Amino acid sequence: MHKEIDLSIKPAYVKEYQNEYPLISKESIMDWSKITEEGTVVNLVDDRKKFICKGYYGRQNKGYGWVLSLKKEEKIDVSYFVKKIRSAIQYREKFYTSKITTAFRVFNGEGDGIGGLTIDYFDGFYLLTWYSIGIYKFKNAILDALKSSVEYKGIYQKKRFDAKGQYLDDTDDFICGEKAPEPLIVKENGANFAIYLDDGAMVGVFLDQKDVRKTIRDKYSKGKTVLNTFSYTGAFSVFAALGGATKTTSVDLANRSRSKTEEQFRVNNIDLTKQNIIVEDVFNYFKYAVRKKLSFDMVVLDPPSFARSKKHTFSASKDYVKLLKEAIQITNNGGIIVASTNASNFDMKRFKTFIDKAFKELNGKYSIEETFSLPKDFKVNEKFKEGNYLKVVFIRKLF
């Protein structure tokens, strides 16, 4: 049983938690010194010691913990996690019956009531991702809840936190059941992805872009030349090729991107001779493209929110305008720029100001064709707007 400690909320933050804000921030609590161990259950109280909500202490980049319940008597035990997981599964019932998509998110952190935890489904295999030592301390109860709620081939995990020398009970990504084949082939809207559940921090595809990829395939790529920057394993390129693109060019700095992208093309029976895969700093490639007078009908921009190479540091909030200007210069008139970011520190409204600024500084004109945020399986808590981090805009360059 996890011990419980009362923590006093600063008066300025009481209303926020009464209104069901889920993140326990460092600055909202008076007396963090009372607590030393991550995974401690905390009862947040006002200055009159009146109970407001219950959560857990677990440090991650977003804050110091998450609210779990508004009920004082609620026990954070297996039955609690069963209730949350089964509710999440019910919400995604249609995904489980799909014949064309066999990879999706089952549990999306605070969107499903437990910040710091995600669970993804890959054709019968489940992958849990822990974002703090605090939530990881509930591992056994959460695993018991998951096992009692689903049929599974195997269960894996990823630990996205720094243990700082603390002893953890395992180091392996595989937890139980049968081991997945390598690669495991999953489907997304009829296309294939080769993924690896036990091969580092990432599995090979970001599931939150499924609607964007489908739109690129179904509406924008036929007969077009496509440049996919920060291409990772080439997922956007795969969908562009399946949609009838005449040629795709995938650019990423990571050496592994070439073999991983080739693999994704192969498992979809796509002709590799019509695809160009380049291992290079994206900003260097832009300069090369300008110098060689290369241009494209579609340019996909999906950078990490922060990245560093030998010569460049990229921050989405500071550098996206510059990135857009580079892309605009090598996009054909009438062409499409797919501008995407997963940065949670600004919203869609501000993102659109970046687009406007980039075009104005180049004296260009544009129209916005459509926008996307997180897909349905990435459920969002309406009280936590920053949880809806994905912003994607399809921009048409007019001249």
pLDDT in tens, 22-32: 999 999 999 99
Residue 175, pLDDT > 70, answer yes
Q: How confident is the model at residue 165 (pLDDT cuts 50, 70, 90)?
A: very low
**Residues 231, 260 contacting (CB under 8 angstroms):** no
Condensed to tens digits (0 to 9), the pLDDT of residues 303-317 reads 988 877 667 788 888
228: helix, strand or coil: strand
Q: Are 10 and 16 in contact (CB under 8 A)?
A: no
Provide the 3-class DSSP secondary structure of residue 245: coil
**Which residue has 């995974």 as its token pair?**
39
Query: What is the model's pLDDT at position 283?
Result: 92
> Cβ atoms within 10 A of the Cβ of 74, count?
15
Q: Does domain 4-69 bear CATH number 2.30.130.10?
A: yes
**With bands split at pLDDT 50, 70 and 90, how would you rate the model's confidence at 171?**
low
Angle at Cα 84 formed by Cα 83 and Cα 90, nearest 5°? 90
The CA distances from residue 372 to 71, 142, 338, in Å, are 35, 32, 10
Of 366, 368, 367, 373, nearest to 388 by C-alpha is 373
254 contacts 279 by C-beta, under 8 angstroms: yes
- The residue among 200 and 360 whose pLDDT is bigger is 360
| pLDDT for res 315 | 85
Average pLDDT over residues 207-211: 98
Is the pLDDT confidence value at 253 over 90? Answer: yes
- CATH topology classification for 78-187: Transcription Regulator spoIIAA (3.30.750)
Residue with the larger pLDDT of the pair 396 and 62: 396
- The pLDDT assigned to 163 comes to 63
In the chain, domain spans: 4-69, 78-187, 206-397
Q: How far apart are CA 282 and CA 254, in angstroms?
A: 11
* Angle, vertex CA 222, rays to CA 218 and CA 226, nearest 5: 100
Question: Is 3.90.550.10 the CATH number for 206-397?
Answer: no
Q: Give the model confidence (pLDDT) of 65-86 as tens digits.
A: 999 999 999 999 999 999 999 9
pTM of the model as a whole: 0.95
Question: What per-residue confidence (pLDDT) applies to 201?
Answer: 82
DSSP 154-208: EEEEEE-S--TT---S---SEEEEPPPPSSEEEEETTEEEEE-TTSSS--S--GG
